[in-house]
Amino acid sequence: MRREEKIFVAGHHGLIGSALIRRLKAQGYQNIVSHTVAELDLMNTSAVEHFYAEERPEYVFVAAGKTGGVYANNTYRADFMYENLVIQNNLIHHAFVAEVRKLAFFSCSCIYPKFCPQPMKEEYLLSSALEPTNEPFAIAKIAGMKLCESYCRQYGADFITLIPTNIYGVNQNYTPLNSLIIPALISRFHEGKMRGDAEVVVWGTGRPQRDFLFADDLADAAIFLMNHYSEAEPINVGSGKDIPVREAAEVIARAVGFKGSIAYDTLKPEGVLVKLQDISKISAMGWTPKVTFEEGIRIVYKDYVKHFASRDHAR
């Protein structure tokens, strides 16, 4: 990508999209297009078609879609599947029609089988059944990945798919029950600290292992891949290291300053036990993440206190 070429970031208000905007600007890309939902409804096929015809972006990052944690994925199954299918179909198909030079689609690590060999290599995709609690969301993401792959194989389109691990960062969704694990824990420990609670309860056993990647590192990886990767096959993006949820909770409690104890509600769902992605493919290309988990959590908590804490407390 040249600095003056037009880049469309779909989903720029979200966790990944906002990180992309920050990192693109930091690297000198200034011709960036983004629209709010009021300006461009990505579920409106004709609106998306008109946008591409008018704006003619040369590069597209598809970071838009409906996301949430275990509870949201398992509860709003139809919403997660339908909305994501419509949004990504509109963005990917009409990018092809408009002859976009290159497109990067963000999938999700939940597309790997529930009982996948560890670490998870890209070739293990679709080898067995998915985790039931997020199956509809995963199927939508698989469809997006396969749509990009199909345009690539049938028409030679330069459409790539990234499979990020568990992403966290500034500008996260802290909505109770709908948020991902890191923002859910941050808001829970902060509220516990503010109330002076003796104990904070974490869903599950705390045993599941997760690889957490800072959103700005993912954005840097996406820009790197946009410049250096043009294969039909998807590519993993992560830190290559996982930690137990229990350890993540302890790191967050320390960053927040919560002095009480941590309890675990073992009756609540917690997803698969181990889910570590093999990042040898992107590592061999020369990319590595820069932000440690402890550093990232400190950055995120400062952002939470500045922009979200009073809003959560009001609820």
What is the residue type of 61? F
Let me know if residue 66 belongs to a domain: yes
Q: Is residue 229 in a domain?
A: yes
In a domain, 309, yes or no: no
**Per the domain annotation, does 207 fall within a domain?**
no
Residue 233: count of CB within 10 angstroms of its CB: 14
Phi-psi region of 133 (alpha: psi -120 to 50; beta: other; left: phi over 0): alpha
Q: How crowded is residue 54: how many other Cβ atoms within 10 Å of its Cβ?
A: 8
- Alpha-helix residue ranges (DSSP H) falling in 156-214: 181-195
What's the domain count of the chain? 1
pLDDT tens, position by position, 95-147: 999 999 999 999 999 999 999 999 999 999 999 999 898 899 999 999 999 99
What does the pLDDT read at residue 7? 98
Q: Tell me, what DSSP letter sits at residue 174?
A: -
Residues whose CB falls within 8 Å of the CB of residue 33, separated by 6 or more in sequence, listed in order: 6, 7, 8, 9, 55, 57
Give the phi and the psi of residue 80 in degrees, each rounded to 5. -65, -40
What strands, in cross-sheet order, belong to the sheet with 274-275? 243-244, 209-210, 274-275
Domain residues for the domain of 138 are: 7-170+213-238+277-290
Q: For every residue of 97-156, which 3-state class applies, written as one string?
A: HCCCCEEEEECCHHHCCCCCCCCECHHHCCCCCCCHHHHHHHHHHHHHHHHHHHHHHHHC
Give the chain's end-to-end CA distance (angstroms, integer): 43
- Mark 10-46 as b/e (b = at least 16 C-beta within 10 Å): bbbebbbbbbbbbbbeeeebeebbbbeeeebbbeeee
- The parts of the chain modelled with pLDDT lower than 50 are 313-315
Residue 198 lies inside a defined structural domain of this protein: no
Give me the residue label for tokens 């070429």: 5
Tokens of 56: 């003619």
b (16+ CB within 10 A) / e for 93-117: bbbbebebebbbbbbbbbbbbbebe
Asked, for residue 250, whether it belongs to a domain, the answer is no
Any idea what the CATH number is for the domain that residue 130 is in?
Answer: 3.40.50.720
* Look-up of token digits 């923002």: 183
With contact defined as beta carbons under 8 Å apart, do 283 and 122 qualify? no
Whether 121 is in a domain gets the answer: yes
Instruction: Determine the pLDDT at residue 309.
Output: 84
Around Cβ 156, how many Cβ atoms within 10 Å?
Answer: 9
CA-to-CA distance for 242 and 79, rounded, in angstroms? 30
Residue 101 lies in a domain: yes
At residue 133, the pLDDT reads 87
Structure tokens at 223: 């820009």
